[in-house]
A = this chain, B = another copy of it.
Amino acid sequence: MSKRPKKSLKQPPAEQSGPAFPAGLNQIPLLQILSAQDRQKVLGEMTETRYGKGQYIFREGDPTEYFHIVKEGSVKCVKSSLDGKECTLKVLMPGDLFCCDASAFDGASHPGTAQPMGDVSVLRMKKEAYFKMLRGNPDAAMEVIRYLGNRLNEAQEKAKVLALDRADQRLASLLVNLAERSGIQEPNGIRVSVRLTRQDMANMVGVTTETAIRIMARFKKDRLVSGTAARLVIRDLAKLRLLAST
């Protein structure tokens, strides 16, 4: 529930020495899996960078030199078309990996842009070191396979929604996902902890901003949600679920 302690769930790390297991890193499954000494080694090879609004972590077409992990905040993965339309493929949360994938191999360039949503902190590691780590740690490699597999399923589920559903259903799906992934239970509903404008939502489900605004207004009228960007609350998750899967 709360984001602080909970000790470690699996493989209680042996008593730490040297630079202690830093706060905030216990939300990162990939690091949890490593032995204490491997983790120290990996952390020694990672650098932490902070980004703020308006900055980019990397942009579509940039060369892929690093493997990344979100430590704090949210990061959005965006692709644009030539005529300036944008589409948000995924909102990464703490613990999410990016550029853990094939684009990082082959010397290919980034297929999309990564930009911070508010203030974020990101861990980076040279891809060569990352590959070496994976080769030497079957458990870590398995974790990355599991992670990528989940991301693939998620991306395909998203493609299905985009291919088959109407605008209102897509938005309902999005709201359900947000509630499940980043929702905080509150007296009057589930608050979405990520700041999302109607435009952000529109980009996430492939509709125009106007359409997103109109549909959200309807949802508001029907008491399915309340609030706007800074404080969006899901008030009737069940009805949204129903609408999403109709």
Given contact pairs A101-B153, A103-B149, A131 touches B142 in the complex (Cβ within 8 A):
yes
In the complex, whether A212 has a CB less than 8 A from a CB of chain B is no
Residues B79 and A160 in contact, CB atoms below 8 Å apart: yes
A-side interface residues, number (CB < 8 Å): 49
The count of identical subunits is 2
Flag the segment in A6-14, A133-141, A179-187 that touches B.
Answer: A133-141
Query: A85–B163 Cα gap in the complex (Å)?
Result: 10
Residues B149 and A102 in contact, CB atoms below 8 Å apart: yes
In the complex, whether A89 has a CB less than 8 A from a CB of chain B is yes
- Max chain B C-beta neighbours (<10 A), residue from A90, A135, A155, A163: A163
Given contacts A90-B156, A100-B149, A102-B152, 7 further A-B contacts (CB under 8 A): A85-B164, A87-B160, A135-B138, A136-B138, A145-B145, A151-B152, A152-B152
In the assembled complex, 8 residue pairs joining A and B whose CB atoms fall closer than 8 Å, in A order, are A81-B160, A87-B160, A101-B149, A101-B152, A111-B153, A144-B145, A159-B162, A162-B206
State the A residues within 8 Å of B (CB): 77, 79, 81-83, 85, 87, 89-90, 100-106, 111-112, 131, 134-136, 138, 141-142, 144-153, 155-160, 162-165, 205-206, 245-246
